Amino acid sequence: MTESANPICPVMMVDDEEQALHGFEMALRSARMNNFIQCQDSRTVMPLLASQDVEVILLDLRMPHITGEELLPKITSDMPEIPVIIITGANDVETAVKCMKHGAFDYMVKPVEKSRLVSGVQRAIELRELQRENRRLKAHVLSDKLAHPEVFAEIITSSTSMRSIFQYVEAIATSPRPVLITGETGVGKELIAKAVHALSNRKGAFVAVNVAGLDDQVFSDTLFGHGKGAFTDAHEARSGLVERASGGTLFLDEIGDLNNACQVKILRLLQEGEYRPLGSDVAKRSDARILVATNQELDALQSSGKFRKDLYHRLGDHHIHIPPLRNRREDLDVLLAHFLDRASETLGKKKPTPPEELVTLLRTYHFPGNVRELEAMVYDAVSSHKSGKLSMDVFKSHITKTHPGTSTDTVDLSAENNKLINFDKHKQLPTLKQAEKLLIDEAMRRSDGKQSIAAGLLGISRQALNKRLKKVET
């Protein structure tokens, strides 16, 4: 399988000594980089830069024809976005200061330690990636347009918050860095991961795996594979999902459920790009991009010691948080219509007409299962539908089980958190009659004046609500 270019644009190495160029390349290849341009003749540097974008330049100072000291100000003037790392045998402060004043990103003295060279180049690459993301985000914000709206076709929404997420996805999609996707169960984290992959220009496959509940051996075997004889019944060697995702994207769902031993292996995969199949002492390399998702609060998990801090910070380069459905109720209309279409087609039925008050009812519900829960409700309703308008009974029955109006375990009734009445100890409490009117008014507001829905919110019958409304009027 073709190896993905890393970094996206090549690292240009300029030195008149062939041995030095070879040494630089070997050091960077050990850090999974594979995209280089070597220049022994300094006269070719500016023509090459005019025709080829590069990620970072390693520049020697002492060269025949055109010296590095002459090239540096030309490069930083014409291509200020390209970081230039000076690598030279000149170990004097005056030269170093002069180079930094001319815009050098870093200054290293030969012989350079491999770790020092690799870390310097990696920092320069990260800077370029941040520059690209900032430009893309700025372009999206100013234009308020999506470059590839078709990629998000499966995510049905009219929410401005979701549109902002799509714009962010377009900005970070080509980055090689990991992406952390958070959000409650059922909000569509895997759909966002697929969109990231689709926009990443990676030729490899999108490989998804739910890692919740996997012990260390099953996790390692699933992701990394095993060698022949690694354990009982391992009669043949088998590759894992990491290898299957080579050149593509590996999506790990429910990352918050991993135990510490598995977290260490993921950290090594992210930091070194290496993994070991079970029963093997030889490490394999991977260029798969890692996307992870969780419905848990990783902040709290790492504070309590259940999630490694180094892994948490490693995953946080790009973070996408998907808001719950209750915070984007404007999506209910389009989602309802979409799921009615899909359910009717799947079940071989004529699409039913939803009653006008159905969306109003759904807007009063908190949707703990989010979009996935709404989809299940619609399929259940369409499956039992006969003819005419769609019955609201399935929706009402489902909502009654968990609705705040009939289930106090979903509502914080403490005085300091009560959003309906402000219990100020310096003010007089409302009477029961006044409090009842406040509750009824709020229920009628939330239900758009529909008594049957308001009664459900209050946990009383429609007749009882109607009687109380008449009392208020008189």
Secondary structure of the chain in HEC code, one letter for each residue: CCCCCCCCCCEEEECCCHHHHHHHHHHHHCCCCCCEEEECCHHHHHHHHHHCCCCEEEECCCCCCCCHHHHHHHHHHHCCCCCEEEEECCCCHHHHHHHHHCCCCEEEECCCCHHHHHHHHHHHHHHHHHHHHHHHHHHHHHHCCCCCHHHHCCCCCCCHHHHHHHHHHHHHCCCCCCEEEECCCCCCHHHHHHHHHHHCCCCCCEEEEECCCCCHHHHHHHHHCECCCCCCCCCCCECCHHHHCCCCEEEEECHHHCCHHHHHHHHHHHHHCEECCECCCCCEECCCEEEEEECCCHHHHHHCCCCCHHHHHHHCCEEEECCCHHHCHHHHHHHHHHHHHHHHHHHCCCCCECCCHHHHHHHCCCCCCHHHHHHHHHHHHHHCCCCCECCCHHHHHHHHHHCCCCCHHHCCCCHHHCCCCCCCCCCCCCCHHHHHHHHHHHHHHHCCCCHHHHHHHHCCCHHHHHHHHHHHHC
CATH topology of domain 328-410: Helicase, Ruva Protein; domain 3 (1.10.8)
Model's pTM, two decimal places?
Answer: 0.73
**Token duo for residue 337:** 């219509």
Answer positive or negative: Cα dihedral of 171, 173, 177, 178.
Answer: positive
Query: Which pairing describes strands 249-253 and 206-210: parallel, antiparallel, or unpaired?
Result: parallel
Give pLDDT tens digits along the chain (474 positions).
456 788 889 999 999 999 999 999 999 998 889 999 999 999 999 999 999 999 999 999 999 999 999 999 999 999 999 999 999 887 888 889 999 999 999 999 998 999 999 999 999 998 998 888 888 877 776 677 888 999 999 999 999 999 999 999 998 998 888 999 999 999 999 999 999 999 998 999 999 999 998 888 889 899 998 887 777 777 788 889 999 999 999 999 999 999 999 999 999 999 888 888 888 888 888 989 999 999 999 989 998 999 999 999 889 889 999 999 999 999 999 999 999 999 999 999 999 999 888 988 898 888 999 999 999 999 999 999 887 789 988 998 888 876 544 433 444 545 445 555 555 655 667 777 777 778 888 777 777 777 777 777 777 777 777 777 777 665
The answer to whether the beta carbons of residues 85 and 120 sit under 8 Å apart is yes
Q: For the domain with range 412-474, which CATH number is right: 1.10.3720, 3.30.300, 1.10.530, 1.10.10?
A: 1.10.10
d(CA 209, CA 222): 9
CATH 3.40.50.300 fits 145-323, yes or no: yes
- CATH 1.10.10 positions along the chain are 412-474
Q: Domain 11-131 is classified in which CATH homologous superfamily? A: Response regulator (3.40.50.2300)
Spatial CA neighbour of 452 closest among 434, 469, 438: 469
